[in-house]
Structure 1
Amino acid sequence: MSRWLFDLGNSRLKFAPLDDAGRIGRVQAVAHDARAFAPGWDDALPARIGEAHVASVAAPELRVALLDGLARRCGRIELAATQARWAGLRIAYTEPARLGVDRFLALLAAHARGGPWLVVGVGTALTVDLVDGDGRHHGGRIAPSPALMRQALHARAAQLPAAGGRYREFAAGTDDALESGCTGAALGLLARSQAGAQEACGAAVPLLLHGGGAGALLAHLPQAVHAPALVLEGLARWARPDASA
């Protein structure tokens, strides 16, 4: 019986097979326009799937489109949901259901790696969450990602390009200034978060980055750990028979 993992985000669907030992196979990704998938998005999937484990933060109609597509070839579909406690992880939110399932699963995967982590998701939004070595989630932050900042500026002032430029500490041109300002805002938020994390945990806390926009920040964060499939890692732990233990 084959098992597959599906991570439906705001701009991409990532999916991978899961073997009997809980190891994730080759991760594939397809883009979407927030309303529908392109024809043939599921060509890489087998004709029959035993179990599908799904995490979704996308709009309801897109989630329904995914579930409808899976129902035609899948025996069982399980939709992951944020829990207050799971596999040693304790969520800080007073209303755990309001913590996005992608952040919950990323924290679950981070906790499984051991030690404290500042978990950073870089997608449409920039999310930052602190989990200590005992699995206690201290809470987090949500901000626009650098890409979204650029898009928002372009939407309000069309003469400002939505992309392009190079990071400079002090830029001598508009494109570079935009790139430096938006990337610098994200880096400043992470620096402040790391300082707060060190105060909360009593020692320096490393960064664990994931998400489609992580690459733009990694060049400026040489000590950060890149985990592009972190949400799928957490979903794999969710899918274990003893998952909540």
Structure 2
Amino acid sequence: MMLFVDVGNTAMKWRYRDGDGIHQGGGRHEREWSRVVDIMLRSAAGMPSEVWVASVAGPEADAAIAYCLKRATRCEPRFYYSCQSDFGVESCYPEPRKLGVDRWVAMIEGFQRYGASIIIDCGSALTIDAVDSRGTFLGGYIVPGLGMLRGALLRDTSDVHIEPGMAQLGLGRSTGECVHNGLLRMSVAFVTEVVLELRQVLDDTCKVLVTGGDAPELIGAFTFEFLHAADLVLDGLERVAARQQ
């Protein structure tokens, strides 16, 4: 059995593969690594014999995660990081390792499935990346995600208290609605503008793939055609690992 782990800026997701079967593991928003690893392994049908990790948490956190995983599974976890080129995708970064590996494996998976593609990751940061039909990573954008925007607004303004709720593109009729709707509209407008612009550069039929924890909040407001690929990062990590089999 193989364990695949995606360590993001705020969330950690994982899943298992046993032969041809995929067992979705779960996810946590916390940074107590030993506790998360214990929870992760409790959801498994057995002990994994191989562990693969894609992490953007940084070297210190990666070392702590590796220690906890090795202690619990008795196997050395294998970390995959961004590089100059892999699986037909060529990085445009002067220092390729500095590209977040979650973005990198998502681009690999998108290109391997569909060729030219636009990857929108709606996580703690909202990222948009473009890969052309030759596999060249053209570049991307990084802006705060919905949660980060809400947090900044609440932290830096007085007397603004909002309750969780569903956002829509229309005018808000309370402070909470104004915040939720305004941030949604701003994010959707940004994504839509970029997608329309990129479709002038790429093939206008290229796939737009949307992933990330905040995707369900955004995709209902998108007016362009897209595919919701909830586990694109884990799919890409699995593809990388399969090459080693």
TM-score, normalised with respect to structure 1? 0.88
Name the amino acid aligned to 1:30. G
- Change beyond 3 A, Cα 1:63–1:146: same
DSSP 3-state at the match of 1:191: helix
Q: Deviations over 1:8-55 (max 9, x none)?
A: 1122221112345xx571222231433545474231236532211111
Query: Paired residue for 2:197?
Result: 196
Name the amino acid aligned to 1:135. G
- Contact 2:149/2:183 (CA < 8 Å) preserved in 1? yes
Aligned residues: 240
Indicate whether 1:69 and 2:68 are aligned.
yes
TM-score, normalised with respect to structure 2? 0.88
Structure-1 separation of matches of 2:64 and 2:244 = 30
Q: Deviations over 1:163-213 (max 9, x none)?
A: 535323333332121112111111111112112211211424442111111
Indicate whether 1:233 and 2:232 are aligned.
no
Indicate whether 1:45 and 2:44 are aligned.
yes
Structure-2 separation of matches of 1:43 and 1:171 = 43
**TM superposition shift of 1:71:** 0.5
- Change beyond 3 A, Cα 1:144–1:116: same
- Contact 2:25/2:44 (CA < 8 Å) preserved in 1? no
Q: Tell me which moved more, 222-231 or 55-64.
A: 55-64
Query: Paired residue for 2:23?
Result: 26
Structure-1 separation of matches of 2:168 and 2:78 = 43
Q: Tell me which moved more, 82-91 or 162-171.
A: 162-171
Query: Paired residue for 1:9?
Result: 8
- Change beyond 3 A, Cα 1:162–1:147: farther
Provide runs of 4+ in structure 1 moved above 6 Å.
none
- Contact 2:211/2:230 (CA < 8 Å) preserved in 1? yes
Q: Deviations over 1:106-144 (max 9, x none)?
A: 101111111322101111100000112221111000000
Q: Give the structure, 1 or 2, with the largest relative contact order (CA under 8 Å, sep 6 or more).
A: 1
- Change beyond 3 A, Cα 1:76–1:59: closer
- Contact 2:109/2:232 (CA < 8 Å) preserved in 1? yes
Equivalent positions of 1:128-207 (< 5 A) are 128-161=128-161, 163-165=163-165, 166-207=167-208
Structure-2 separation of matches of 1:132 and 1:5 = 28
Q: Deviations over 1:52-76 (max 9, x none)?
A: 1111112545433321221121433
Structure-2 separation of matches of 1:37 and 1:176 = 38
- Change beyond 3 A, Cα 1:149–1:216: same
- Change beyond 3 A, Cα 1:114–1:159: same
Query: Paired residue for 2:122?
Result: 122
Structure-2 separation of matches of 1:24 and 1:58 = 28
Indicate whether 1:104 and 2:104 are aligned.
yes
**TM superposition shift of 1:242:** 6.0
Structure-1 separation of matches of 2:137 and 2:42 = 38
DSSP 3-state at the match of 1:168: coil
DSSP 3-state at the match of 1:26: strand
DSSP 3-state at the match of 2:185: helix
